Amino acid sequence: MTSSNQPAILASHLVRRFGTFAAVDDVSFRVEKGEIFGFLGPNGSGKTTVIKMLTGLLPLTSGDATVQGIDVRSDPEGVRENIGYMSQNFSLYADLTVSENLTFYGRIYGLPPERLRKRMDEIVQLNGLGPYLNRLSAQLSGGWKQRLALGCAMLHEPSLIFLDEPTAGIDPVARRQLWDLLFELSAHGITFFVTTHYMDEAERCSHVAYIYFGKVIADGTPDALRELPAVKPKGTYRVEISAPHVTQALRAARTIPGIRSATIFGQSVHALIDDSLDLDLLRSQLLKKDVTVAEIRPLAPSLEDVFVELTYQHRAAEEASRG
Amino acid sequence: MVNPFRGFSAVFYKETLHVRRDFATLFFSLIIPILQMFLLGFGIDTNIRQINTVVYNADGRRESRELLDRLRNSDTFRLLRYVNNDKDLNDAIISGKCRVGIKIPVDYSDKLLHQMSAQVLVLIDGSDSSVAGQAINVTTAIGLDESLRRVLVNDATFAVDMRPKILFNPDSRSPNFFLPGLTAVLLLNVTTFLTAFSIVREKERGTLEQLFVTPVRPMGLLLGKLLPYLVIGFFELSMIVTAMRFIFSVPIHGNVFLLAFLSLPYIFVSLSLGILISSKATTQAQAMQLAFLTILPSIFFSGYIFPRETMPKFFFVLSYFVPATYFINITRGIILRGAGWTHLWTDALALFLMGTLLLVIAARRFHNKVIMA
């Protein structure tokens, strides 16, 4: 069934309509084995719908998808046998202990008792749940719940795991630990499909796609996306303007000719600027508008810059096509 | 080969853990029916006796006192007060202290002695219709009896002698009437409520969503969830029947095993209702309200408390769509009338068809609104 050069996920021209509304509109992407694929997009943009389509929960209006080489349309059960899934609220049974939760999911996937015991040992060793085996999962902290949920999702040794907002609402340390764990597992050849809101997590992925209102508007490695001509048009560069009053600086920056776009980023303004407007000229232009500037320095675009830029351009194109 | 019951044993394992862990819910779901049973068994008597009665005896002679004795001996009236004027008679009823007022006029004995018709005024508070009905029947009967006694010569017999014989429940004991019907309501309580809650709880916590992404098949999931509650329902039924027989001394004339067997289609209907509710409700509070929507018709339109025959046409027809109607006929049939399979198979069939229909609707709704949502 699954040969070694097959992609983990191949989605081509996925469409899902609810009535006349296209929640997913001609979405195609390819996830290779062993990748950590970050699937990003604002709420309601179709991330969860795509996951449901790929796991066979939602019929495709049109298009094709194979997951682990299995056709989602013809064998959704086969797909579900071969993937792990962890939802954003770590769907654990609060009134069951850690080992009971693991046993339940093991049985769901039909693991025979000896194999279940062996897998539980392995997972406990991997994520350090040992001391908590007999504790009710309700009593675990967010980070431990998440490790348990991940453990439940990978008991049956799937080589592809879907993680829907795995780090929503957990503390930064647990977040960092989860990513360390994902890298470790990924090194063992497990593919991850991760949705997230955190841009720093997107930066850690080996492959990201950005979905905006049902359409994928960016797809590639983070480095490739940063070099996209749409993000870094010829004859432009990016700067970071640090200023004591960022909102004032932003308002001023948007009126200066030669600044193509500007957004606030923490205590500074990120701007895309024509080559003709060099740093000194920019500084004097800002001073002319009574903006005190602490520092201006060139900047490589972040993934957030990439998505912001692509979203603007996508919107502009949509409006233009609507006339 | 796809096993349509995939995941059944895993879900069953988990669900029994939930039940064991949440002992309080189990305890209350079992103890509350038993409490209800005690309340209805001991506390409620549908036979109307000892109605508080106020008497204004303006006559006061022997004949009038004899009439009052007969009223007292009927066990229907309790002669609570004696007054001396019309105003006090009225006030006793208006204040609610007495339900019935009896006024014997000054000339009562005189009229009887002169073979004339003597009139007795009976005032009845109609605010409780069954009390009023009973008061009318008994006073009329006593009046008739008293008249006949005076008209008939010594050894004459009645031309028509009605001999009523109550076949089942000859003492008209209320527990015998209530408790068999109660089993229907209580079973519904356990099966419908508990299954609906157990599914909706998983919706609330998001675990259902997780289960759908596993190879569990809907039938495996639903059956795994239902079976523990079916066992609890059966346990509850046997507890109720045992208490009914040995604490409330309700004789069981029919076959207990037939009762157990025929309760299966009813439990089937209740469980399907539970699934239907869970496909609609998104929170446990909603499930609670919907479950009450099913409980109320089972109490009021099934013949459990009010006889179906006296219902207005619309509600009478409605009662045919209430599953408890059939099961109450089964329980009363087996327990009180000693009915067998030949008498009850139509009720069982009706329940089975209802259950199948509900399960199909519920399973479809569950598939469309819950899994594919």
> A138: nearest CA in chain B?
B205
Query: How confident is the model at residue B306, as a pLDDT?
Result: 81
In the three-class reduction of DSSP (H, G, I as helix; E, B as strand; rest coil), residue A297 is classed as strand
Query: How confident is the model at residue B102, as a pLDDT?
Result: 92
Residue pLDDT, tens place only, B72-115:
888 889 988 899 999 999 999 999 899 999 999 999 999 888 88
Non-local CB neighbours of B192 within 8 Å, separated by 6+ positions: B270, B271, B273, B274, B277, B291, B294, B295
Q: Answer yes or no: are the C-beta atoms of B251 and B35 closer than 8 Å.
A: no
Q: How many Å apart are CA B128 and CA B43, to the nearest integer?
A: 18
Phi, psi torsion values for A18, nearest 5 degrees: -110, 100
The sheet carrying A191-196 orders its strands as: A83-86, A160-164, A191-196, A36-40, A207-212, A215-220
For A144, the enclosing helix (H) or strand (E) is: helix A142-153
Q: Does domain A233-300 have CATH number 3.40.50.300?
A: no
For chain B, percent of residues with pLDDT exceeding 70: 97
Across B17-31, B72-86, B127-141, least confident range: B17-31
- Residue B21 in any domain: the answer is yes
Based on the fold, state whether residues B286 and B353 are members of the same structural domain. yes
> How many of the other CB atoms lie within 10 Å of CB of B97?
12
- Angle subtended by helix axes A113-127 and A98-108, to nearest 10: 130
- Residue B1 in any domain: the answer is no
Q: Would you place residue A39 in the very low, low, confident or very high pLDDT band (cuts 50, 70, 90)?
A: very high
Residue B226 has pLDDT above 50, yes or no: yes
For chain A, percent of residues with pLDDT exceeding 70: 98
Residue pLDDT, tens place only, B150-194:
877 766 777 787 888 877 777 777 778 888 888 888 888 778 888
Output the domain CATH number for residue B127: 3.40.1710.10
Amino acid (one-letter) located at A206: S
* C-alpha distance from residue B100 to each of B54, B120, B135 (Å): 6, 13, 8
Q: How many Å apart are CA A159 and CA A82, to the nearest integer?
A: 7
Residues of chain A with C-beta less than 8 angstroms from the C-beta of B205: 89, 91, 93-94
Based on the fold, state whether residues B145 and B232 are members of the same structural domain. no
For chain A, the straight-line distance linking the first and the last C-alpha, in angstroms and rounded, comes to 48
Q: Would you place residue B350 in the very low, low, confident or very high pLDDT band (cuts 50, 70, 90)?
A: very high
Residue A105 has pLDDT above 60, yes or no: yes
Q: Which of residues 67-106 of A touch B (CB under 8 A)?
A: 77, 80-81, 83, 85-89, 91-96, 100, 103-105
Strands A207-212 and A36-40: parallel
Q: How many Å apart are CA B194 and CA B211, to the nearest integer?
A: 20
Based on the fold, state whether residues B135 and B191 are members of the same structural domain. no
- Residue B94 in any domain: the answer is yes
Query: How confident is the model at residue B178, as a pLDDT?
Result: 81
Query: How confident is the model at residue B338, as a pLDDT?
Result: 87
Average pLDDT over residues A269-287: 84
Cross-chain residue pair A96–B6, CB shorter than 8 Å: no
Based on the fold, state whether residues B140 and B176 are members of the same structural domain. no
Based on the fold, state whether residues B126 and B210 are members of the same structural domain. no
In the three-class reduction of DSSP (H, G, I as helix; E, B as strand; rest coil), residue A14 is classed as strand
A–B: how many Cβ contacts below 8 A?
Answer: 72
> Chain B within 8 Å of A297 (Cβ-Cβ)?
no
Q: How many Å apart are CA B218 and CA B49, to the nearest integer?
A: 56
Based on the fold, state whether residues B183 and B89 are members of the same structural domain. no
Give B189's DSSP letter. Answer: I
Q: How many Å apart are CA A40 and CA A48, to the nearest integer?
A: 11
Q: How many Å apart are CA B130 and CA B13, to the nearest integer?
A: 52
Q: Kindly write down the DSSP assignment for every residue of A230-270, as one continuous string.
A: TTS-TTEEEEEEE-SSHHHHHHHHHHSTTEEEEEEETTEEE
DSSP E strands in chain A: the ranges are 9-18, 21-31, 36-40, 62-67, 70-71, 83-86, 160-164, 191-196, 207-212, 215-220, 236-242, 259-265, 268-274, 295-298
Q: How many Å apart are CA B262 and CA B345, to the nearest integer?
A: 9
Query: How confident is the model at residue A1, as a pLDDT?
Result: 46
Residue B373 has pLDDT above 50, yes or no: yes
Residue B102: closest CA among B145, B147, B70: B70
Residues of chain A with C-beta less than 8 angstroms from the C-beta of B217: 77
Query: How confident is the model at residue B1, as a pLDDT?
Result: 52
Based on the fold, state whether residues B88 and B36 are members of the same structural domain. no
> How many of the other CB atoms lie within 10 Å of CB of B91?
15
Average pLDDT over residues A35-54: 88
Residue A309: closest CA among A248, A236, A252: A236
Taking every pair of Cα atoms in chain B, the longest distance, rounded to a whole number of angstroms, is 98
* C-alpha distance from residue A284 to each of A112, A289, B101 (Å): 73, 9, 107
Any idea of the CA torsion for B355, B360, B363, B369, to the nearest 10 degrees? -120
Query: How confident is the model at residue B30, as a pLDDT?
Result: 79
- Residue B263 in any domain: the answer is yes
Q: Nearest Cβ partner of A108 from B10, B18, B209?
A: B10
Query: How confident is the model at residue B266, as a pLDDT?
Result: 92
Q: How many Å apart are CA A280 and CA A283, to the nearest integer?
A: 5
For B70, the enclosing helix (H) or strand (E) is: helix B62-73
Cα R_g (chain A), whole angstroms: 23
Residue B53 has pLDDT above 70, yes or no: yes
Query: How confident is the model at residue A2, as a pLDDT?
Result: 45
Tokens of B141: 């009967």
Superfamily of domain A32-59+70-223: P-loop containing nucleotide triphosphate hydrolases (3.40.50.300)
Cross-chain residue pair B207–A108, CB shorter than 8 Å: no
Based on the fold, state whether residues B99 and B20 are members of the same structural domain. no
Average pLDDT over residues A35-46: 88
Residue B245 has pLDDT above 60, yes or no: yes
- Residue B3 in any domain: the answer is no
Across A23-27, B47-51, B319-323, least confident range: B47-51
Residues of chain B with C-beta less than 8 angstroms from the C-beta of A162: 213
Q: Would you place residue B331 in the very low, low, confident or very high pLDDT band (cuts 50, 70, 90)?
A: very high
| Count of domains for chain B | 2
Q: Would you place residue B348 in the very low, low, confident or very high pLDDT band (cuts 50, 70, 90)?
A: very high
Q: Answer yes or no: are the C-beta atoms of A68 and A83 closer than 8 Å.
A: yes
Q: How many Å apart are CA A234 and CA A19, to the nearest integer?
A: 42
- Residue B156 in any domain: the answer is no
Cross-chain residue pair A59–B13, CB shorter than 8 Å: no
Q: How many Å apart are CA B334 and CA B176, to the nearest integer?
A: 12
Rounded to two decimals, the pTM is 0.75
Based on the fold, state whether residues B26 and B91 are members of the same structural domain. no
ipTM greater than cut 0.90 = no
Strands A160-164 and A83-86: parallel
Amino acid (one-letter) located at B2: V
Distance from CA of B220 to the nearest CA of A (A): 10
Residue B83 domain boundaries: 51-151
Q: Which of residues 180-209 of B touch A (CB under 8 A)?
A: 205-207, 209
Q: Would you place residue B347 in the very low, low, confident or very high pLDDT band (cuts 50, 70, 90)?
A: very high
Could you say which of B151, B184, B219 is where a domain stops? B151
Residue A193 has pLDDT above 70, yes or no: yes
Tokens of A266: 């923490």
Q: Nearest Cβ partner of A85 from B2, B207, B210?
A: B210
Cα R_g (chain B), whole angstroms: 28
Cross-chain residue pair A57–B212, CB shorter than 8 Å: yes
Based on the fold, state whether residues B229 and B310 are members of the same structural domain. yes
- Residue B317 in any domain: the answer is yes
Average pLDDT over residues A314-321: 84
Dihedral sign computed on CA atoms, order A184, A187, A192, A198: positive
Residues of chain B with C-beta less than 8 angstroms from the C-beta of A111: none
Based on the fold, state whether residues B137 and B178 are members of the same structural domain. no
Average pLDDT over residues A159-187: 87
> B370: nearest CA in chain A?
A57
Q: How many Å apart are CA B32 and CA A182, to the nearest integer?
A: 50
> In chain A, where are the structural domains located?
32-59+70-223, 233-300
Average pLDDT over residues A158-175: 86
- Residue B163 in any domain: the answer is no
